[in-house]
Amino acid sequence: MAGRIFDSIHAKLLTLPDDLEIFPGHAAGSVCGADLSGKPSSTIGFEKRWDPYLSMTDRDAFIRELTANIPERPAEMARIVAANLGAAA
């Protein structure tokens, strides 16, 4: 999946205009939002300048870096997934 993220970043996101405003899909402090800023929006240009992952051009190095410190699966993950899929009891 990390390789697919790299491919998507380089084929799609980095081709967008620098002034394009973008909004996060996860919030800072959430399990999926580790290391995210608390900003409610950003621009492609800002992220190109400040996000170290967006400046990485070596796919294998990107994959190693992205997968180096994957946290443990949260104890409540099954319930969270079920709720997201609408299958919560």
Asked if pLDDT for residue 27 goes beyond 60, the answer is no
How crowded is the C-beta side of 35, counted as CA atoms within 13 Å?
8
Spatial contact of 36 and 24, defined as CB atoms under 8 Å apart: yes
Nearest CA-CA partner of 41 in 25, 20, 17, 21: 21
Burial 26-63, CB ≥16 within 10 A → b, else e: eeeeeeeeeeeeeeeebebebbeeeeeebebeeeeebb
pLDDT greater than 80 at residue 21: yes
Report the predicted TM-score, pTM, of the whole model to 2 decimal places: 0.66
Higher pLDDT, 26 or 19: 19
pLDDT tens track for 38-87: 678 899 999 999 999 999 999 999 999 988 887 788 888 888 888 888 86
Ranges of each domain in the chain: 2-84
Q: Strand ranges (DSSP E) for the chain?
A: 21-22, 42-43
Residue 35 has pLDDT above 90, yes or no: no
* Secondary structure of residue 79 in the 3-state scheme: helix
Residue 24: pLDDT band (50, 70, 90) is confident
Whether the per-residue pLDDT at 2 is higher than 70: the answer is yes
